[in-house]
Amino acid sequence: MKAAAFAYARATSVVNALELLAAHGDKAKVLSGGQSLMPAMNLRLLSPDIVVDIGGLAELRGFAVKGDVLVIGALTRHVDLLGSPEVALHAPLLRDAVAHVAHPAIRNRGTIGGSLAHADPASELPACVVALDATIIVRGPAGERRIAATRFFKGIYETALSPDELLVAVEVPVAGQGSTFFFQEYARRHGDYAIVGLAARAVVAGGRFTDFRLGFFAVGDRPLLATAADKLINASVTAVLLAEAATALADELDPQEDQQASPAMRRHLAAVLLRRCVAALLARPELEAGATR
Amino acid sequence: MSVPVSISLLVNGEPIDAFVLPRLNLADFLRENLKLTGTHVGCEHGVCGACTVRVDGEIVRSCLMLAVQAQGASVETIEGLSDSGEVADLQAAFRERNALQCGYCTPGMLITAQDLLKQVSMPDRQAIREHLSGNYCRCTGYQAILDAVEATAKTRAERRA
C-alpha cells in the first residue's frame, strides 16, 4: 500500500525542526531513518499532515565520550552502532542488540533516536536503554529536557515526548569495572520482531551480582525493568533462588496474546532467558537447566 | 497542501532532475518516472527486500525511502549493476544453479548478495543466509540462491589468487 498524501519539510537545523513541530503540533511526524515510520504510513496506520525530515542534520549524528557517559546522537544509524569502536568498548550491549535489529538494508537507515521515539514494545533498543539506565535528551521550545529511560516509555508507541519536542541524543553510562552484558531474543526468523527478548547489564564481583538490571521486551506494552532481578543481587545464587526469581518474574509480567505466542508461552520463554542470562553472566552453566525443588 | 518538491540526484551515474510529490517512494520513482523496472515492489513495508537498491553505496529498501529523501544522493539500481558488469558473474551463477525461478526476488537478491561479497570475501553459508535473511523468495529457491552466492565467492577468490 502507499502512504496517504502529506506535505514535506526538510529541516535545516534542530531549531528549524522545532519551529516546524511547534507550528504543526501533533499533525506532524518526524522522519529520521524512516524504517518504522514509513511502514506505518504505507500501511495507513499513520497519516500525518506533514513530515518533518531531520535526516540531513549532521549535528545529531555520531558519538562522544563525556566523562563517564557515551553520548549517542539521535540520528546515529544501527549500522554505525554495529561498527563503532566506542560502542564496542563502552556499551557493547547496544552492538549485540543491533545485530538482531531487522536486516542490513534496514540497519543502514534505521536510527537509534527513531527506534526510541517510535517505542515499539517488541523492539530491541528501548529495552537496552532501560537496562543501561540511559538518559534520553530531548529539545523543545523551552529548551533541553533530560528524561530517564525508565520513565521515557509510556505504552505501545507512547513516550514522554511532547509533539513539539525532538529526541536529540541518548546518554549511556560507560561500562565500568566488572560490567558484563547479556542480550538474547526469540524470533521466528533472525531479524524479525522478538517473541520475547532480554537485554541485561550486570556487575559481577566475587561470583555475585553487585548490580543486575533486566530489560525484558515484547512482554508488555513497554520495555520492562524486571524487579525479579533484585533478589539475585548480593546473594549467593543457587538453583533454588533462581527458581524463585523465575517465578517472581512470571508473576511480574503481563504479556499480550498475539499471533506469535500466548501469555503463558511468553512467561515461559522469559524465565528461560532469565536462567540463561544468569548462567552466562556468572559463568555457571549448571544454573541454566533450572531447579527441581 | 501536498505540493511537488524539486529533487536532483544521480541514478546509475546519470544526473536526474525531477518534481515529485512527497508521498512518492523511491521504488515507484525509479519504476514509474524513470522506467527502471528492475527494482521490484513486493510488500511495501520493508519485509520482502524485492525493492533493494544502493544509495550512496549502501543497500536500502527503496519502498521505505521517499524520493524526496534521495535529494543529492547517488542511487544504483539493478540496471546499473548489470550494465556495468559488476554482478555479471553472480548473474551467471544464478542461472547455472537455477537460483532464478520466477525472478521476482532476483534483483533484490543480487544487490544484497553483492553487498555481502564486497564486505566479506569468503562468507560461509551461515553468513550468506543471514545477510540474505531480509529478502523473501516466494518460489522457495533459497538453497539454490545460497549455492550461487557461495559459488561466486569461490570463483572470485580463485580469480584473485
Of the partner residues B22, B28, B130, the one whose CB lies closest to the CB of residue A6? B22
CA-based nearest distance B147→chain A, Å: 20
Q: Tell me the pLDDT band of A22, cut-offs 50, 70 and 90.
A: very high
A with B: how many residue pairs have Cβ under 8 Å apart? Answer: 95
CB contact under 8 A, B44 and A104: no
Mind giving me the DSSP string for A118-167?
A: HT-TT-HHHHHHHHTT-EEEEEETTEEEEEEHHHHEEETTEES--TT-EE
Q: Report pLDDT digits (tens) over A105-119.
A: 999 999 999 999 999
* pLDDT at residue A79, as a whole number: 98
From residue B4, how far is each of A5, A44, A48, A52, A56 by CA, in Å? 11, 21, 17, 15, 19
Residue the block writes with cell 529498501? B61
Please state the pTM of the whole predicted model: 0.95
Of the partner residues B21, B58, B69, the one whose CB lies closest to the CB of residue A53? B69
* pLDDT at residue A189, as a whole number: 84
CB distance B31 to B67 below 8 Å: no
* CATH number among 3.40.1180.10, 3.30.465.10, 3.40.50.300, 3.30.300.30, domain A58-173: 3.30.465.10
Beta strand residue intervals within B28-121, DSSP E: 52-55, 58-61, 74-76
Q: Tell me the pLDDT band of A176, cut-offs 50, 70 and 90.
A: confident
* pLDDT at residue B1, as a whole number: 59
Mean pLDDT on A118-145: 97
Residue of chain A minimizing CA distance to B25: A2
Q: In whole angstroms, what separates CA A108 from the centre of its chain?
A: 18
pLDDT along chain B (161 residues), means of 10: 92 98 98 98 96 98 98 98 98 96 97 98 96 94 96 95 83
Residue the block writes with cell 509533539? A163
Could you tell me if residue A191 is left (phi over 0), alpha (psi between -120 and 50 degrees) or otherwise beta? left
Can you name the CATH fold of A7-53? 3.30.43
Residue ranges per structural domain of chain A? 7-53, 58-173, 180-288
Q: Tell me the pLDDT band of A190, cut-offs 50, 70 and 90.
A: confident
* pLDDT at residue B125, as a whole number: 97
Least confident of A7-21, A75-89, A183-197, B50-64: A183-197
* pLDDT at residue A291, as a whole number: 55
Of the partner residues A39, A53, A191, the one whose CB lies closest to the CB of residue B134? A191
Work out the number of other CB atoms within 10 angstroms of the CB of residue A243.
17
Query: What is the ipTM score, two decimals?
Result: 0.96
Mean pLDDT on A174-201: 93
Give the mutation candidate from B66, B120, B149 for the A interface (greatest A CB count, under 10 A).
B66
Q: Tell me the pLDDT band of A293, cut-offs 50, 70 and 90.
A: very low
CB distance A131 to A215 below 8 Å: yes
Chain B residues within 8 A of A5 when measuring between CB atoms: 2, 21-23
Given a cut of 90, whether residue A177 has pLDDT beyond it is: no
CA-based nearest distance A192→chain B, Å: 9
Mind giving me the DSSP string for A175-207?
A: P-TTEEEEEEEE-SSTTSPPSEEEEEEEEEETT
Strand arrangement of the beta sheet that strand A179-186 belongs to: A179-186, A196-205, A208-217, A224-225
Residue the block writes with cell 536486516? A103
CA-based nearest distance A84→chain B, Å: 16
CATH architecture assigned to A180-288: 2-Layer Sandwich (3.30)
Mean pLDDT (chain A, rounded): 96
H helices present in chain A, as ranges: 14-24, 37-42, 78-83, 85-90, 92-98, 104-107, 112-118, 124-131, 149-152, 239-252, 263-281
Residue A121's φ and ψ, nearest 5 degrees, are -65, -15
Q: What are A155's three cell numbers? A: 505504552
- Furthest CA-CA distance within chain A: 63
| C-alpha–C-alpha distance, residues A182 and A184, integer Å | 7
Q: Which residues contact B158 (CB under 8 A, 6 or more apart)?
A: none
CA-based nearest distance B98→chain A, Å: 25
- Please report, as a single letter, which amino acid is at residue A108: N
Mean pLDDT on A209-231: 96
